[in-house]
Structure 1
Amino acid sequence: MTEVSAIHWQTRLEPLAPMQWSDLLAEFADGNFYQTHAYGSVSWGRASLTHLVVCDADGVRAIAQVRQIRFGRWFGVAYVRWGPCVQRRSEPWHACAFREALRSLACEFVHRRRWVLRVIPNLFQEDEQASTALQVLQQLGFQKDASAIPYRTIRVDLESPLEEVRKRLDGKWRNQLNAATRNGLEITEGNESSLFGRFVGLYDEMMSRKRFETSVDVREFLRIQEHLAPPEKMRVALAGQSGQLHAGVVTTAVGDTGIYLLGATGQEGLKSKASYLLQWRMIEYLKSVGCRFYDLGGINPEANPGVYHFKSGMGGLEVHQLGRFELGASEARRRLLHWAERWQRALHSWRQNILR
């Protein structure tokens, strides 16, 4: 790893306009949906966002969108989800930029403001950069938050030719795909809000049929879609027949990894196997726009074995995110943050029960 002292860094931390940030994010292969301005603005509120930009003599080397959450007047947490981004397109992952980005964030939020800095790097334990990233985090004093369950998913390699990607499909999965192809389904794809609106209708129908609770707010995703820059728009694909929707999927292709965000299947789609055809169409699309991987959006074999079985048939490898890391001016500050969050969750749950 290049000596940190050999590089002259320049950093700035300030809120950036949506287009400014989108242009920067587009330069990074490890850019992702959760680092988009639209995601942060809609999910957290634009006033809570600020942006770190780290440069060396050759230009921008690292960026991070930061959510700022205050607990009272003197305390808070700075949260970076799936960042900082440090791998420029067509270049290697930059360990020194990763270190400098974290160091700069720590200087502002931990040492100056006395807040807690919380980071979820966009890296998986199986990545070759993982050991270096863990070493950097440890050297800077970050601690892994054992209370946070790391994101677990299946990642499909898209760098091989499509013929090889198809051969890696499980035999039964491939048979279902062939059957869906023969069913004469009509596929509509695009990024228009109207198309997303049709997906929302199908999603509502599915949720009404299944009658289970979820933390996913599909209408929030629709609002995010309306705010995303054109190159960042989510891809919506719908399958139907004779004017009736059978299934729909929503993916994102920010950075070099596509992510499966949302899916819905209607009653007819269970018979026509439309979801198999749509997932294959998403693989074709993501590969066509240069994605190296397709992240299937999380798995939980114990709680949701049916979805796990479907995703595990797509020829990918199971991977585990590095986890959530925290740095505070003291251990007491970290404990205070966790206590405040537990109190907020309890208050929210109490209010929800009252409303019922």
Structure 2
Amino acid sequence: MGVHYDMSEASTIGWQTSLNPLTPAEWSELLAEFADGNFYQTHAYGSVSWGRTSLTHLVVREADIARAIAQVRQIRLGRWFGVAYVRWGPCARRRSETWNSAAFREALASLSREFVRCRRWVLRVVPNLFQEDEQASTALQVLQETGFQKDEATAPYRTLRVDLRESLEEIRRRLDGKWRNQLNAATRNGLEIEEGNDEALFRRFLGLYDEMMSRKRFETSVDVREFACIQEQLPASEKMRVALAGQSGQLHAGVVTTAVGHTGVYLLGATGQDGLKSKASSLLQWRMIEYLKGAGCDFYDLGGINPEANPGVYHFKSGMGGVEVHQLGRFELSPSEARRRLLHWAERWQKALRRWRRKIGR
């Protein structure tokens, strides 16, 4: 039996919706209006990671005010099939306002009408909401009522989130005792911190990152060069924040964060051999807490955790006083169960092919 989806003929009375590719400047201006805007919804991220021609933009308005938005990646798979993908969206919480469940529903319904009903594609969304958020149960109800199914085969994003709404004194008090001691030691070590958002700082970070990767020799799916290209395209208001710590001209550690929306996110980190002794990473993470709080962020997302696969990083992050949270997950809407299964089969085959190519060194 096929998956059911919203069959409304038109937008609910009072809503005006549009779905068109917008320029980087147009989209950036809209994204800045939303507290749940985020790095993965920026035009630069979509253009570099997916290709600018694959992007389109949904805007749901009420009385000429944007109430929900979503950047959509369009993936055509043959002449009659494709996937529409929304990562960390739709955004439905304007700054200084509460999350708008009605606008969220209308955004999902509009995407459904275009991609599932008209094009017969699979629609895939990963909302920027966590199971621990107060609006989680409402969002899950809306997703269910609009016909979406949760993809149980994909593990939801799991992270630690530091609450920045308290004073810096209270945030520091919540640090694990050992972590706080490392921060105090790093402060006494006389490290010099450089920070900003220019490309030169990012290039210096890349050098340190390459040094760390050659030392640790582990595989990663993260393409730091892609992040460098994104940084070049981001407008000033959305640029990533780079912070480097060193001594006597030698870099010890570096971090890269984003402050788009009300939640800052830790994106990249690197520690040199000297940094392991100087505890420079602790100093930089505290500096990012200060920066993000000053930038108006309510939370600091520590960039994901995997205690089983990466216990060392988990141990470090768990000392920062954050609370473990889990995203709602990935949800799909399809014109038929057969198309949904076909998509999953094709993705499994593609992953197997990539693993085989890596194994033979191609």
**TM class by smaller structure:** over 0.9
Q: Is the 8 A contact 2:11 2:106 kept in 1?
A: no
The TM-score normalised by the length of structure 2 is 0.96
- Aligned pairs for 1:336-355 within 5 A: 336-355=342-361
Letter of the structure 2 residue corresponding to residue 311 of structure 1: K
Q: Is the 8 A contact 1:116 1:329 kept in 2?
A: yes
What's the counterpart of residue 189 of structure 2?
183
- Aligned pairs for 1:139-288 within 5 A: 139-288=145-294
1:18-38 C-alpha deviation (Å, 9 max, x unpaired): 010000000000000000000
1:92 equivalent to 2:98? Answer: yes
Q: Which whole-Å CA distance do the structure 2 matches of 1:114 and 1:165 have between them?
A: 49
1:329 equivalent to 2:361? Answer: no
Q: Which whole-Å CA distance do the structure 2 matches of 1:253 and 1:317 have between them?
A: 19
Q: Is the 8 A contact 2:12 2:106 kept in 1?
A: no
Q: Which whole-Å CA distance do the structure 2 matches of 1:245 and 1:354 have between them?
A: 35
Q: Which whole-Å CA distance do the structure 1 matches of 2:99 and 2:43 have between them?
A: 22
Q: Which whole-Å CA distance do the structure 2 matches of 1:330 and 1:227 have between them?
A: 38
What's the counterpart of residue 318 of structure 2?
312
Q: Secondary structure at the match of 1:141?
A: coil
What's the counterpart of residue 75 of structure 1?
81
Deviation at 1:147, TM superposition (A): 1.1
1:265-295 C-alpha deviation (Å, 9 max, x unpaired): 0000000000000000000000001000000
Letter of the structure 1 residue corresponding to residue 133 of structure 2: D
Q: Secondary structure at the match of 2:59?
A: strand
Q: Which whole-Å CA distance do the structure 1 matches of 2:97 and 2:64 have between them?
A: 13
Deviation at 1:344, TM superposition (A): 2.1
Deviation at 1:58, TM superposition (A): 5.1
Q: Is the 8 A contact 1:260 1:295 kept in 2?
A: yes
Q: Which whole-Å CA distance do the structure 1 matches of 2:256 and 2:247 have between them?
A: 19
Q: Secondary structure at the match of 2:338?
A: helix
1:23 equivalent to 2:29? Answer: yes
What's the counterpart of residue 309 of structure 2?
303
Q: Is the 8 A contact 2:84 2:124 kept in 1?
A: yes
Q: Is the 8 A contact 1:7 1:56 kept in 2?
A: no
Q: Which whole-Å CA distance do the structure 1 matches of 2:93 and 2:229 have between them?
A: 29
Deviation at 1:230, TM superposition (A): 0.7
Q: Which whole-Å CA distance do the structure 2 matches of 1:112 and 1:81 have between them?
A: 21
In structure 2, list runs of 5 or more residues that go unmatched.
1-9
Q: Is the 8 A contact 1:71 1:340 kept in 2?
A: no
Q: Which whole-Å CA distance do the structure 1 matches of 2:358 and 2:314 have between them?
A: 30
Q: Which whole-Å CA distance do the structure 1 matches of 2:12 and 2:173 have between them?
A: 47
Deviation at 1:6, TM superposition (A): 7.7
In structure 1, list runs of 5 or more residues that go unmatched.
none
What's the counterpart of residue 7 of structure 2?
none
Q: Secondary structure at the match of 1:146?
A: coil
What's the counterpart of residue 9 of structure 1?
15
The TM-score normalised by the length of structure 1 is 0.97
Q: Which whole-Å CA distance do the structure 1 matches of 2:277 and 2:212 have between them?
A: 14
Cα RMSD of the aligned pairs, angstroms, is 1.2
Deviation at 1:7, TM superposition (A): 4.9
Deviation at 1:342, TM superposition (A): 1.6
1:263/1:242 Cα in 2 relative to 1: closer, same or farther (>3 Å)? same
1:51-73 C-alpha deviation (Å, 9 max, x unpaired): 00000115110000000111111
Letter of the structure 2 residue corresponding to residue 168 of structure 1: R
Q: Which whole-Å CA distance do the structure 1 matches of 2:299 and 2:27 have between them?
A: 23
Q: Which whole-Å CA distance do the structure 2 matches of 1:349 and 1:71 have between them?
A: 21
Q: Is the 8 A contact 2:11 2:110 kept in 1?
A: no
Worse-superposed segment, 340-349 or 96-105: 340-349
- Identity rate of aligned residues, in percent? 81
Letter of the structure 1 residue corresponding to residue 191 of structure 2: L
Letter of the structure 2 residue corresponding to residue 49 of structure 1: L
Q: Which whole-Å CA distance do the structure 1 matches of 2:318 and 2:149 have between them?
A: 32
Q: Is the 8 A contact 2:129 2:328 kept in 1?
A: yes
Deviation at 1:350, TM superposition (A): 3.5
1:6/1:142 Cα in 2 relative to 1: closer, same or farther (>3 Å)? closer
Q: Secondary structure at the match of 2:347?
A: helix
Q: Secondary structure at the match of 1:126?
A: coil
Q: Secondary structure at the match of 2:143?
A: helix
Q: Which whole-Å CA distance do the structure 1 matches of 2:11 and 2:259 have between them?
A: 36
